[in-house]
Amino acid sequence: MVAARSLHAWGARVQVVLTGPEDALKPVPKRQWRILERVGLAVRSRNDPQSESPDLIIDAIFGYGFRGKPRRRAARWIEWANAQGCPVLALDLPSGLDATTGIPSAPCVRATATLTLALPKTGLRAPEAQAFVGEVVLADIGIPPEVYRALGIEVGNPFANGSIIRLEDSQER
C-alpha cells in the first residue's frame, strides 16, 4: 500500500485491490488502506480479478508468515497474476512460496523479481523456489544492527552502498 502511494506520487496510474476482507486487516495495514481510500486509489475487495491488463503487478497477497496452500479468492488472484504477461514484483517473497523451505504451493506467484525486506528469507535459496522468485533484491527497512545482534545475527553493514542491493547468485540468497 505504501508502494502504491509512492508510485502514484511519481505519476503512475495505480489501483490497489484487497484480495481478502477489509475487516481482516490489522491496524497498520488498515490505516494504510484508509489513506488509499482518501486518495482514491483503493478498490474494494473483489472476489475475482477483472479483465484489466496491468503494466506491472505488485504481489503482496500474503506475507512471509503464510503457511499452507492459497485457496479460493487468493488462488484465483495468483492464477490471474501469472496469466497477465506483465512483470510481477513480489514483496518479500512470492505469494504461495514457503519463506523457510522455498517449497511453492499450487498456485504460487511466478515473480519477475522479488524485493525481500531486511534479510533474505531462507526459502529464496531453495532450488524449488528458483522458478518463482526471479531476480532477488534486498531492501533496507531501517532495522538497527542492535536488533539483529540481540537475535544472535551478525549482518555487518549490507546497506553501506545503498538501501537496495541485488543478490546476484544463490550463495547470497
Cα 129 to Cα 28, 66, 99, distances in angstroms: 29, 15, 10
Q: In what order do the strands lie in the sheet with 57-59?
A: 57-59, 88-91, 113-117, 135-139, 164-167
* Separation of alpha carbons 16 and 36, rounded Å: 8
Residue of 3, 1, 2 lying closest to 18 (CA atoms): 1
Asked whether residue 60 is domain-assigned, the answer is: yes
77 and 35 co-located in one domain: no
Residue 55 and residue 23 in one domain? no
CATH number of the domain residue 71 falls in: 3.40.50.10260
How many residues make up the chain in this entry? 173
Do residues 31 and 114 both lie within one domain? no
Same domain, 114 and 72: yes
Domain closes at, from 29, 46, 63: 46
Query: CA 99, CA 49: separation in Å to the nearest integer?
Result: 25
pLDDT given at position 95 = 96
Q: Residues 55, 41: one domain?
A: no
Does the pLDDT of residue 169 top 60, yes or no? no
6, 85: one domain: no
Return the percentage of the chain with pLDDT > 70, whole number: 91
The alpha-carbon radius of gyration of the chain (Å, integer) is 16
pLDDT for 171:
40
Please report where in the chains the cell 518479500 appears, as a residue. 92
* Alpha-helix runs per DSSP H in the chain: 2-9, 27-39, 72-83, 130-133, 145-150
Bridge partners for 83 per DSSP:
none
Q: Could you tell me if 145 and 65 lie in one domain?
A: yes
Domain match, 150 and 78 both:
yes
31 and 108 housed in the same domain: no
Residue 64 lies in a domain: yes
Domain that holds residue 10: 1-46
Residues 22 and 8 in one domain: yes
Would you place residue 160 in the very low, low, confident or very high pLDDT band (cuts 50, 70, 90)?
Answer: confident
Number of folded domains in the chain? 2
pLDDT score of 172 more than 60? no
Mark out the alpha helices in 85-155 (DSSP H runs). Answer: 130-133, 145-150
State yes or no: pLDDT of 173 exceeds 60.
no
Look at residue 85 and tell me whether its pLDDT is greater than 70. Answer: yes
Three-state SS at 22: helix
